[in-house]
Amino acid sequence: MAKIGNINLEEFPLLLAPMEDVSDPPFRAVCKENGADLMYTEFISSEGLIRDAIKSRQKLDIFDYERPIGIQIFGGDEEPMAMAAQIAAATNPDLVDINYGCPVKKVTCKGAGAGILKDVPKMIKLTAAVVKATSLPVTVKTRLGWDDDTRNIEEVAERLQDVGIQALTIHGRTRTQMYKGNADWSLIGKVKNNPRIRIPIFGNGDICTPEQAVSAREKYGVDGIMIGRAAIGYPWIFNEIKHFMKTGEHLPPPTVLERVRVCKKHLHHSIAWKGEIVGILEMRRHYTNYLKGLPHIKDFRQQLVTYKSPAELEQVLDAIAAQYKDHVFERVASPVADSQYLPANNESIDCNVYG
């Protein structure tokens, strides 16, 4: 059984990645229902929390049914990060996570996210400050290094462990890679199999199918995996992986009725948490992936991204369920979300899908 501090997880936990503009409470609710073992908030600016910025504060909203859940913070200065950890802890999460992986320029230029990979001593000091500021378990999510010449994750992992973090998630790319090429899990495996490492090591990057998850566990020995894009519009990925790991067999793909049911639940949560106008508007980014694989769906999809009332949207979803009730989905190699239909601000989501 994996354990972070006093948090007991499954034997091989599946983590939902903290994705900006995606992993909000409505999205987390449907992922939890479908097997996510540990989830995180969208990443939160330490400076925003201290300034009492409305958007940053709203991201602190967590609910008991989500537990265990961590609040992820980012920043480049010790005092604001320590203060942010204390503010986050006051909302009673199960852990505090530090983002050292976001690669976008607007974050890295401030020495935050993956930007701190260029200054490992500063990273260690900042981490120690956060650990000291809270009694909650502190974890870290990061990358292999800044570039191919500084793939120093083995040293970084040891030093982070030495200052008190209680778990580490590693995305198998460097900052300069951004999202290109394939994630390199070999270094993740080296960290996990380092005899000095005692904390759980979770791998992240390019896990889109049950087979890939099994391969990551068997080949690299990681304690669990973190899933990002593959869960967008497809929260069933968690239970599909669990079932495959236990039985070696695939669950049947979710039916149209199941997809519509979960999509409706997501919509209802979105409206309840954000209000009708914002909840409906921000739900639009998810419809394409919920309905992926349905033929001639363009007109229905256009209605879903145009209509502005819950009743109208319910009617469209019911019409989809009725028209496609006999449709049989084919199992695809990767249920990963279409990047074309991610939030308009791709920098925003990308920094946490991969970071």
Catalytic residues: 102
Residue 68, preceding peptide bond in cis (omega within 30° of 0): yes
Quick one: DSSP state of residue 118?
A: G
Q: How far is CA 237 from CA 17, 204, 327, in A?
A: 13, 15, 20
Backbone angles phi, psi at 164, to 5 degrees: 115, 5
Residues 6+ apart with CB under 8 A from 125: 78
Beta strand pairing status for 168-171 and 138-143?
A: parallel
Decide if 38 contacts 238 (C-beta within 8 A). Answer: no
d(CA 328, CA 340): 24
The residue type at 261: R
Closest CA to 10 of 249, 352, 353, 239: 239
Q: Which residues are annotated as a binding site?
A: 72, 141, 171, 228-229
Q: Which residues are annotated as a binding site for FMN?
A: 72, 141, 171, 228-229
